Structure 1
Amino acid sequence: MSTLITHLSTQKDYRKALKTWRPVVFYFGHPQCYACGMAEPLFCKVAETFEDRAVIYKLSTDQSPRHPEVTGTPTVLFYKDGKLRRKLKGIGDPASFGQTFAELVGRTRPRRLPAPRHHDVRWLRQQIRTLCTARRAPALLRLRATPR
């Protein structure tokens, strides 16, 4: 999975990661943990379906700085708008984990960009009226120069 972010170097990176409009998911595992070895493929499979709707971090507890909410591995933290929405200690069965993931991340849609501005005839007439052509320039300059 190419879009999973796998390394955070400082505590400051956690705070920076949460400053986004998209949901943020942190998965914490350890390479020598038996439960993490079973949970990681399931997490990657489920996270792959939601990678365009959330920012997903797959972190190793021996390489990343300590997170205050993580007391054991595997742990999954779901954040939305910078606030912790749910903490899962262990993943459980695939159906309930997929349902939890869909519940917390699945409804998020990308923000829509503002529609391009369409110019109508009225706008075009206004623009033409304000254009300064060479023939009208002396008359406009005289108008602006006279005191009101």
Structure 2
Amino acid sequence: MRSAAHNTLAPTYRKALKTWRPVILYFGSQHCPACEMAGPVFRQVAEAYRHHAHVYMLNTIESPRHPHVTGTPTVLFYQNGKLLKKLKGIGTEQTLKEDFARHIGRVKPARVKRKPTHDLAWLQQTFRRLCTVPRATERLNRMVWP
């Protein structure tokens, strides 16, 4: 049953689904008022997951027909070529974030760069003055004794 449904997909989609990463397909239309509101919300949520999944935003007018898309906006979550979830509309931003987290996994927030707690110039100067045993022996041998 799965292979029959998978073969009905356009070659473009079959190629996109042959990956180990999760795949999210967003279908929208430029003439759809709901898509105009949902598009920016979807982009904002998907931005955090761009390194963890393949996210595609597709226009239904320009893209080949997908058998699971009956209206817009529609979001399809795939894992290993299998359809995990179909969203008709995206709901709220919070529910969309929960769906992404459930199907892709939690993503750590970006690390905030902290100001270094050391003085780099002082550290370099200290290392230049640092006297190791071979260096100390060499200095002692060069010294002239009275």
Pairwise TM-score range, normalised by the shorter structure: 0.5 to 0.7
1:43 aligns with 2:42: yes
Task: Find the counterpart in structure 2 of residue 13 from structure 1.
Answer: 12
Instruction: Classify the secondary structure of the residue corresponding to 1:25.
Output: strand
Structure 1: gaps (5+ residues): 1-9, 109-148
Task: Find the counterpart in structure 2 of residue 31 from structure 1.
Answer: 30
CA distance in 2, matches of 1:78, 1:61: 17
TM-score (norm 2): 0.66
CA distance in 1, matches of 2:27, 2:77: 12
Count of aligned pairs between the two proteins? 99
On the 8 A contact 1:50/1:106 being kept in 2, the answer is no
Task: Find the counterpart in structure 1 of residue 65 from structure 2.
Answer: 66
1:54 aligns with 2:46: no
What is the deviation of 1:105? 1.0
TM-score (norm 1): 0.65
Report percent identity of matched pairs: 57
RMSD of the TM alignment (CA)? 1.4
Give the structure with the higher percent helix: 2
Instruction: Report 1:68-107 matches (<5 A).
Output: 68-107=67-106
Give every structure 1 segment of 4 or more consecutive aligned residues whose post-TM-superposition deviation is greater than 4 Å.
none
**Larger-gyration structure (1/2):** 2
